[in-house]
Amino acid sequence: MSTHQTSASGLDLREQGRDAAGTPVYSDRRTFIQVQAFTGCADPAPLIASLRSFPFVHALYVDVNDPQGIVLATAHEHPDFFVNELRSFLAQSPFAALTLKPDFTMLGRTYSIGYESDLTHVLVHRPLERLCNPALPWVVWYPLRRKGSFEQLPSSEVREIMSEHGRIGVQFSEGGYGVDIRLACHGLDRDDNDFVIGLLGADLFPLSAMVQTMRKTKQTSQYLEKLGPFLVCKVVHQSPYPLPGHA
């Protein structure tokens, strides 16, 4: 949990939840996840071989809609990782021979909604467990941006809208059809999107059905400015989580 206090300016940037007694709990931890798409890969085997010695959380996918497409998702709590270790790895591995598709690059951070009791699980362990779960080989990644009018709604209406959206997610999750990774990307996205979503499951059809069902919600039908582009992928390699030697 966080030991940082509110700054002199009055800003408190910690993630907030609530314990079983309703007492606020806080954390300064969050996980950044980046998704990058490449083309020009006729055989992913050399990429997989290089990733076996890459000591950071990652997942490698083949792109359903590009016969030579490959998608790499990487995760770390510290954003310096993406401009240091990851950048160096990509430049010195077989990835350097591929062509990046920047229109599909996504970067986001985990966040709390405000009621979670175990913030470390929500902000760190749960998204990485899902990213690295071999039982969830199908993944649909996409960004979204809400209309500005959503931000002006009363908090009570926002809660109602998000509750409708959340109930659908719970139904699919409890039914064993799929789970999500939700990331905020305010100021991190080239195209000014607000969120990056990953839908993960054992089969592809339920993930498509989840998107279809969400289209009927008030948030999607009335308050989304943009949805996509979509990356539809299947896992060919994942790092273990936790990583060997890490708690």
CATH of the domain at 203: 3.30.70.1030
**pLDDT for the residue numbered 3:** 47
Q: Is residue 149 part of a domain?
A: yes
Q: Is residue 151 part of a domain?
A: yes
List of E strands, the chain: 15-18, 24-27, 32-39, 58-63, 70-76, 99-100, 106-109, 138-146, 179-184, 195-201, 224-227, 231-238
Q: Is residue 141 part of a domain?
A: yes
Q: Is residue 54 part of a domain?
A: no
* CA neighbor of 237 nearest in space, from 90, 35, 51, 46: 51
- Give me the number of domains the chain comprises: 1
Q: Is residue 189 part of a domain?
A: yes
* 8 Å CB contact between 197 and 180: yes
**Hey, what are 46's tokens?**
């050399």
Q: Measured between alpha carbons, how far is 211 from 164 in angstroms, rounded to an integer?
A: 14
Q: Is residue 85 part of a domain?
A: no
Q: Which domain holds residue 213?
A: 136-231
- Mapping DSSP to helix (H, G, I), strand (E, B) and coil, where does residue 157 land? helix
Q: CB-based contacts of 65: which residues, under 8 Å, 6+ apart?
A: 232
pTM of the model: 0.93
Q: Is residue 71 part of a domain?
A: no
**What are the pLDDT tens digits along the chain (247 aa)?**
454 555 567 799 999 999 989 999 999 999 999 999 999 999 999 999 999 999 999 999 999 999 999 999 999 999 999 999 999 999 999 999 999 999 999 999 999 988 899 999 999 999 999 999 999 999 999 999 988 888 888 888 878 877 887 888 888 989 999 999 999 999 999 999 999 999 999 999 999 999 999 888 888 888 889 999 999 999 999 999 999 877 5
Q: Is residue 200 part of a domain?
A: yes
**Hey, what are 170's tokens?**
């719970």
